[in-house]
Chains A and B, each alone.
Chain A
Amino acid sequence: MPIVIEDLAGGITKVVITGRIDIAGAAAIDMPMSIVGGSRRNVVIDLSGVDFMASLGLRSIVLSGKAIMSKGGKVALLSPQPAVEEVITTSGIDELIAIYTDEAAAIAAVSPAA
C-alpha cells in the first residue's frame, strides 16, 4: 500500500506516502487521501519515501488539502525528494501548502494550538 495514515497524539494525523506516485500510484492514493480530507483537520503529509510524482499525485494532495483547509484545518508537506519538490514548486503549490524538512516543525505548524 503506497499510503499509511497514522493518528498521532494531539489530534495530529501523519499521512505517509511511498513509492512511485504515477498514474497507478495516484489511483491508489486518491481514495485514502479523500478520506483524510474529509475526516482529519491537522495533517502532515510525509513525502520522503516518494520517488516520483506528477500532476495526478499533486492533484490528489491539493484536493485533500483544500478539504482540510475549508474546515479550518491545517496541512503541511514533509521532506519531498528533489524531483518531487521540483514538481511541487514548479506548480506553485509550495506557496499554498508549506514544505518542511523537519518533522517536529511540520507537526508544530499544523497542531490545533498553533
Chain B
Amino acid sequence: MKLLRLRRSALPPDSLMSEPGAAPEILRITNALADLSRLYPWFEDAAAKLGLPKPLVQKMQVAAEEAVMNVAMHAYAPGSADKIEVRLSAMQAVAELVIEDSGPEFDPLSVAEKPQPASLAEAEVGGLGMKLLKRYCPDISYARLDGRNQLKLRFPFNSPAAHA
C-alpha cells in the first residue's frame, strides 16, 4: 500500500500509463560487416517504436556504434559465428541500451583514458571511441554475467517515451 502511494505521488498520472515492463527491442548479429551494418537501420526502427526523441537517438547511436564495434573487434575472431546481442528499451524518462557478448571477460571501463595528444602525429585512434562513448553516455555500467560481458548504457531524457 505504502509503495503504491509513493509511486502515485512521485509520478505524474500519465507516466503510470507508460510501459516499464515493455519487452525490449533485440538485435543479434555477428561481427561480419554485413551484420554490423544492420545496427543503424535496426536502431532507427527500434527507437521509433519506443517513441524516443530524435536528438537522443543521434546521441545514442554515437555511443551504440562505439560499444558494438568494440565488441566486434575485440570479443570475437574475424568470421566468428558468435553473436553480439543489442537490446534497446525505454521506461519513463530513461532509455537503456544493453550490449552483450560471450567473449573473454573484458570491462572496457577499466581501460584508463589516454591524455589528449599534443599533435595528430601522436594521436592514437584506439582511445578515441571510448572517450566519445563516455562523454555521450552519462551512465555506463559493466557486469560479467553467466559467462557473458554486459555493457549497460542508460540515457535519461526529458520527454517521456510517450505515445502521447
Contact = CB atoms under 8 A, between A and B. Distances in A.
Given A87-B62, A87-B132, A24 B37 contact: yes
Given A59-B128, A66-B121, A92 B116 contact: yes
Nearest to A88: B132
Contacts of A92: 116, 131
Nearest to A69: B120
Given A55-B62, A69-B121, A70-B121, A22 B40 contact: yes
A66 B61 CA distance: 26
B128 A65 contact: no
Contacts of B142: none
Contacts of A62: 120, 123, 125, 128
Contact of A52 (B36, B61, B117): B61
A80 to B, nearest CB: 14
A22 to B, nearest CB: 4
Given A52-B58, A54-B62, A58-B128, A23 B120 contact: no
Interface in B16-65: 33, 36-37, 39-40, 58, 61-62, 65
A17 B66 CA distance: 21
Contacts of A69: 119-121
Q: How large is the interface on B (under 10, 10 to 19, 20 to 34, 35 or more residues)?
A: 20 to 34
Interface string B106-137: 00000000001101110101001101110110
B69 interface: yes
Contacts of B40: 20, 22-24
| Max chain B C-beta neighbours (<10 A), residue from A27, A66, A70, A97 | A66
A14 B36 CA distance: 30
B120 A97 contact: yes
Interface residues of A, number: 27
A79 B45 CA distance: 29
A23 B36 contact: yes
Given A63-B125, A96-B123, A55 B69 contact: yes
A90 B135 contact: yes
Given A22-B37, A27-B37, A66-B123, 9 more contacts: A23-B36, A23-B69, A55-B65, A55-B133, A62-B125, A62-B128, A66-B120, A96-B119, A96-B120
26 contacts: A20-B40, A23-B37, A23-B40, A23-B65, A24-B40, A27-B37, A52-B58, A54-B61, A54-B65, A55-B66, A55-B69, A55-B129, A56-B65, A59-B125, A59-B129, A65-B120, A66-B120, A66-B121, A69-B119, A69-B120, A69-B121, A87-B62, A87-B132, A90-B132, A93-B128, A96-B120
